[in-house]
Structures are given as C-alpha cells and as structure tokens.
C-alpha cells in the first residue's frame, strides 16, 4: 500500500476529482492534495489520491521500472479490485 | 526480471558501485538504516547489498505501516467489526495480519463481520453513502503519505453531513520514530543497534518535506539522505551517506530532488493540520511507546472519531509467541534469526505482520533473500 503509481490526467471532474489513465485502466482519483493540475499532466497516485505532479519522462521511467520489476500488475490489480469507481476499458 | 540484470550490468550501477567501493573506508563498517519498506524491497529485489562492499551494511527499519501497528490496535479493529455491528473498511494489507490468538480481520470476516477492503478513503465514503442505515468505520493506518487522504475524507464527510462515518485513526509519524531508534537503549539480551546514517523515505518526504529531519540529524548527529525508490537512487544515496560519514557531517541531504523539496506539499500539510493533531504518545510494534509519534482526530471533528463513538474494551493483546517482528523492526535482528521464518511462517501462512505486507522485511527476505543465501552457500562451498 506504500506504492504510488504515475498516471496521466485525462479529464478534470467535479469536486476535486480527476480521471486518470494508465495501462488501459481509467480511474477516478482525488486531486484535493495538489494545486492546478491540467489535462495531459502526469501525477503520482497513492491510495486514490494524486500526491504530486511529475514530468512525463519521470512517469515513463517509473512505470517501465515498475512493470519490469513486476510490481505494476499487483498494484493495478489492487486498484481495480477494491471498490473501484469509474473503471472503464 | 529483465530489469534486474539490466540494472546490475548497467554502466551507471557499475560506476556507482565502484565509487562506493572507493569512498568507503575499509577499516570501518557503515551501518545504514533504510527506514522505509520500499527501500528494503528495492535493496533485495536488485541485490544492491551484493553490489556494495561488505563493510557497508543495510539495516532494515520500521517503515512498513502494517508492520508497526501494535497488536492491541488490530485487536480493537477486530472487536469493532465483530461486536459493534459496523461496516469496517480497511486497506487490503491489513486483512491477513494476525492479532492476538492469530485472529485476523479475514478470520473475523469469516465469522460474519462486515469487513470491506477499500483502495481509497473515497471508496469508504461511497460505502457510507450507500449504507445510510449502517455505521461505517474506516480503519486508517499509514505514514505521512497516507494521512492526507484520511483528513480529506473527514472534511468531505463533514461537508456532506454524513452521520454514519467515523475513522479509527492510527496514523504515525516518521521523524519521531527515527529519533526513537537512535535514542532507545538496547533491549535486554540484545546488542545496541548501530546506525551511522539513514536513507530517508521518499514519498513520505514529498508530503512533509526534508525539513522535519533536520533536528533529528543535528541532535543525534546522524546524516539523513532522502532517497528515491529506484535501485540507482538507493546506490547514489548510499554514496552520499558514506561521504557524509567520512567527513564527519550529519546533514539532511536530498537525493530525490525530482520530487522532494525542503518544505514538502503545503496543501496536504494544511489539510492534515486542520483535522488531526499530535497524540501525546503512541505504541509501535517493536519500538514500544514513542512520544508525539502519531496523530489523533481533533475535538472539532470528534463526531468522526471511531474511538469516541465506539469505546472498545481494554484487553491484553499478545504477539504470536516467538515471532521476532518487534526486534526486526528495531533493526536488532534479521528475519533469518527467527525460528519460524520460512518453515512455519511464510507469506501463505504469516505468523507476523512483517511476513504479511510486501513491504515487510520478512516478506522481502522470503521472496528474494533465500535465493541469495543459496547463491552465497554455493559460492562458499566452491572456495
Ligand atoms: S518470520 Fe514470521 S514469525 Fe518470524 S519474525 Fe517474521 S513475521 Fe514474525
């Protein structure tokens, strides 16, 4: 549960929420902890909250590393399994 | 595991390994505590320990939120779920941690308790809205990274006027735990834990910044380097620590400048501050009672405090006998020194929290350490 995953913001929704996309999963996350995030930017997501923004290169590198180290699949599963909201392919 | 070999053969890793070997003074040992379970994981997965000289030793710290929660608080959560007819929402990692008499949340669920795994506080709020006739308790655990989402949920519940939502708050703080570890006298029958410097947590620090470590470093004269989670980050931070130790410095340095600043995430800090305040003291598994090391819900928000709404009965809680988690969390023992490791206690049948959570040291040893030990044995037999 300590891990945080980089994801791309695809839309800004009401009530400090945003939809992020990663690996074909779409997820509604809270943006209550960060200021002025924009569509197309990358954020680090931890327990359903965007913790901070990060550059595309950093996001890309982290994702690749997580994938190759095998932790990405676990995290995605956790994300998708537990009480998921707004998952769509 | 392509990346593991890519990393180990990579020129940057090799260069760093060489620089560490050159910088380290062969006549002494360097005991570096990685506070965070995420770093323990990276060190094991990528075999970082094998890439640094033998006199550089990683000591695994207590930075695994599931691991440091004392049994009594878990027993309280089990009681809440079983005896108070609430819907208990919990992060998945907590489910299999054995409480007193090995009773876990998963067992309580099998006995009929309504326990739901959530990924986020937002899921807990949704469950609350969908079940307005039931009491919903969110079992909040975690370090500074996981705390702001709890604070936000309480503010949302208040704004929405949700009457059936409370939080069982167990959020703990990193800097007081670091201070406690360097300051604590050795337990009876244990050698004092030697630590020359700390690899500081990265995501926690992205929230609180690097500033809160400054007094700890100054007072206890131990360098702290905030380190990213990637294996190269860990190696670079190791080099930075060794240099500080050699020069007799004890500063807070930030290797993870990509994300961490000195001040951290002010917005998140303000939200936490608004809703939560320091506890006078809190019990940690392994560390015992640590002053000002955890947060509780402020009076203004006591309507959302599960400890106020559902008084739990006092109880005598016990760890599984011979589980060495407490000593491991203090950095005093290694998982392989536990009698139960790998035979009775495995990830499929965990006897202690350090084997349940993937951030726990026992789980890391189990997953990656055994291969290493086997390789070392072969190497030894060959000479
Ligand atoms: S191996 Fe199991 S029983 Fe032993 S210390 Fe680790 S978690 Fe506890």
Which of A48, A51, A52 is the closest to B121 by Cβ?
Answer: A48
Nearest CA-CA distance, residue A76 and chain B, Å? 11
B345 lines ligand 1 (CB under 6 A): yes
What token pair was written down for B379?
A: 């190497």
CB atoms inside a 10 Å sphere around CB B300: 11
- Report angle CA B88, B92, B93 to the nearest 5 degrees: 120
Unique residue bearing structure tokens 């290694």: B334
Segment holding B372, helix H or strand E: helix B370-382
For chain A, the residue count is 89
With beta carbons under 8 A apart, name residues in chain A contacting B203.
2, 4, 44, 46, 51
Nearest CA-CA distance, residue A51 and chain B, Å? 8
The model's confidence at residue A88, banded by pLDDT at 50, 70 and 90, is very low
Answer whether residue B141 is part of any domain: no
| Domain harbouring B47, CATH code | 3.40.50.11750
Answer whether residue A77 is part of any domain: no
What single string gives the DSSP state of each residue in B161-202? T-SSEEEEEEEB-HHHHHHHHHHSPPPTTSPPPP-SEEEE-H
Backbone angles phi, psi at B354, to 5 degrees: -70, -15
How many A×B Cβ pairs under 8 Å? 116
Unique residue bearing structure tokens 């988690």: B325
> What letter would DSSP give residue B312?
P
What is the distance in A from the centroid of ligand 1 to the CA of B352?
5
* Count of structural domains within chain A: 1
- Are the C-beta atoms of B151 and B272 separated by less than 8 Å? yes
pLDDT on residue A34:
94
Per-residue pLDDT tens for A25-80? 898 999 999 988 999 999 999 999 999 898 898 888 888 777 766 667 777 777 76
Distance separating alpha carbons of residues B171 and B16, to the nearest angstrom? 36
Q: Label the pairing between strands A5-13 and B30-36.
A: unpaired
pLDDT on residue B381:
56
The model's confidence at residue A83, banded by pLDDT at 50, 70 and 90, is very low
Domain shared by B355 and B220, yes or no: no
With beta carbons under 8 A apart, name residues in chain A contacting B66.
1
Domain shared by B250 and B378, yes or no: no
Read off the pTM: 0.91
Domain shared by B209 and B62, yes or no: yes
| Domain harbouring A42, CATH code | 2.30.30.140
Q: Decide which of B254, B284, B306 is a domain's last residue.
A: B254
Nearest CA-CA distance, residue B236 and chain A, Å? 17
pLDDT on residue A38:
94
| B71 three-state secondary structure | helix
- Are the C-beta atoms of B213 and B35 separated by less than 8 Å? no
Answer whether residue A84 is part of any domain: no
Edge-to-edge strands of the sheet including B87-91?
B114-118, B87-91, B136-142, B165-171
Q: Could you tell me the residue range of the domain that residue A9 belongs to?
A: 5-54
pLDDT on residue A70:
67
With beta carbons under 8 A apart, name residues in chain A contacting B118.
82-83
Answer whether residue A59 is part of any domain: no
* Count of structural domains within chain B: 2
User: Strands (DSSP E) along chain B, which ranges?
Assistant: 30-36, 56-63, 87-91, 114-118, 136-142, 165-171, 197-200, 224-226, 252-254, 276-278, 281-284, 288-291, 295-297
B335 lines ligand 1 (CB under 6 A): yes
What is the distance in A from the centroid of ligand 1 to the CA of B346?
8
pLDDT on residue B290:
95
B355 lines ligand 1 (CB under 6 A): yes
Answer whether residue B108 is part of any domain: no
Unique residue bearing structure tokens 């929420």: A17
Answer whether residue A78 is part of any domain: no
Mutate to test the pocket of ligand 1, among B325, B356, B367 (most ligand atoms within 8 A of CB): B325
Residue A84: is its pLDDT beyond 60?
no
Domain shared by B227 and B359, yes or no: no
Answer whether residue B114 is part of any domain: no
**Cβ-proximal residues to B192 (8 Å cutoff; 6+ apart), any chain:** B185, B186
Distance separating alpha carbons of residues B327 and B331, to the nearest angstrom? 6
- Are the C-beta atoms of B67 and B329 separated by less than 8 Å? yes
Q: Positive or negative CA dihedral for B200, B167, B275, A12?
A: positive
* Contact flag B91-A47 (C-beta cutoff 8 Å): yes
With beta carbons under 8 A apart, name residues in chain B contacting A3.
38
Domain shared by B375 and B248, yes or no: no
Report how far apart the first and last C-alpha atoms of chain B are (Å, whole number).
29
Q: Positive or negative CA dihedral for B349, B351, B357, B360?
A: negative
ipTM exceeds 0.90: no
Calculate helix-pair angle for B147-160, B266-275, nearest 10 degrees.
Answer: 60
Answer whether residue A42 is part of any domain: yes
Unique residue bearing structure tokens 């990637």: B230
* Contact flag A3-B4 (C-beta cutoff 8 Å): no
What is the distance in A from the centroid of ligand 1 to the CA of B37?
15
Answer whether residue A37 is part of any domain: yes
Q: What share of chain B is helix, strand, coil (3-state, %, to 5)?
A: 50, 20, 35
- Are the C-beta atoms of B117 and B105 separated by less than 8 Å? no
Answer whether residue B95 is part of any domain: no
Distance separating alpha carbons of residues B124 and B304, to the nearest angstrom? 13
Q: Could you tell me the residue range of the domain that residue B368 belongs to?
A: 325-382
- Are the C-beta atoms of B181 and B330 separated by less than 8 Å? yes
pLDDT on residue B30:
97
With beta carbons under 8 A apart, name residues in chain A contacting B37.
2
Nearest CA-CA distance, residue B76 and chain A, Å? 21
Which residue ranges in chain B fall short of pLDDT 50? 383
Answer whether residue B308 is part of any domain: no
């Amino acid at each position: 549960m300590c891990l945080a995953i980089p994801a791309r913001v695809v839309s800004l929704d009401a009530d400090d929420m945003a939809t992020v996309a990663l690996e074909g999963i779409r997820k509604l996350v809270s943006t209550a902890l960060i200021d002025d995030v924009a569509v197309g930017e990358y954020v680090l997501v931890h327990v359903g909250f965007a913790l901070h923004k990060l550059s595309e290169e950093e996001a890309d590198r982290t994702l690749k590393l997580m994938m190759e180290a095998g932790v990405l699949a676990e995290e995605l599963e956790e994300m998708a399994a537990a009480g998921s909201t707004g998952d769509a392919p | 595991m392509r990346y593991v070999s890519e990393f180990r053969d990579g020129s940057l890793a090799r260069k760093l390994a060489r620089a560490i070997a050159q910088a380290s003074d062969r006549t002494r040992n360097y005991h570096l505590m990685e506070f965070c379970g995420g770093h323990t994981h990276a060190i094991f997965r990528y075999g970082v320990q094998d890439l640094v000289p033998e006199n550089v030793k990683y000591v695994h710290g207590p930075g695994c939120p599931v691991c440091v929660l004392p049994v009594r608080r878990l027993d309280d959560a089990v009681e809440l779920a079983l005896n108070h007819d609430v819907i208990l929402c919990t992060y998945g990692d907590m489910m299999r941690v054995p409480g007193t008499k090995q009773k876990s949340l998963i067992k309580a669920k099998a006995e009929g308790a309504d326990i739901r795994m959530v990924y986020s506080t937002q899921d807990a709020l949704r469950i609350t809205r969908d079940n307005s006739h039931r009491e919903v308790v969110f079992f909040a655990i975690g370090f500074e990274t996981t705390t702001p989402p709890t604070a936000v949920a309480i503010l949302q519940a208040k704004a929405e006027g949700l009457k059936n939502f409370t939080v069982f708050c167990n959020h703990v703080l990193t800097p007081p735990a670091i201070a406690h570890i360097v300051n604590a006298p050795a337990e009876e029958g244990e050698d004092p834990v030697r630590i020359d410097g700390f690899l500081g947590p990265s995501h926690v620090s992205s929230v609180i910044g690097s500033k809160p470590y400054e007094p700890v470093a100054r007072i206890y004269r131990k360098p702290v380097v905030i380190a990213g989670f990637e294996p190269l980050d860990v190696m670079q931070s190791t080099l930075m620590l060794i240099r500080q130790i050699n020069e007799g410095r004890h500063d807070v340095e930030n290797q993870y400048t990509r994300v961490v600043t000195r001040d951290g995430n002010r917005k998140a800090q303000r939200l936490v501050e608004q809703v939560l305040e320091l506890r006078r003291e809190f019990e940690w598994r392994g560390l015992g009672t640590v002053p000002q090391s955890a947060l509780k819900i402020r009076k203004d928000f006591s309507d959302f405090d599960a400890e106020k709404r559902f008084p739990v009965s006092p109880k005598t809680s016990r760890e599984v006998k011979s589980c060495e988690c407490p000593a491991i969390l203090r950095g005093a023992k290694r998982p392989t020194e536990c009698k139960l490791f790998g035979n009775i206690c495995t990830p499929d049948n965990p006897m202690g929290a350090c084997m349940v959570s993937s951030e726990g040291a026992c789980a890391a040893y189990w997953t990656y350490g055994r291969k290493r030990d086997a390789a070392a044995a072969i190497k030894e037999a060959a000479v």
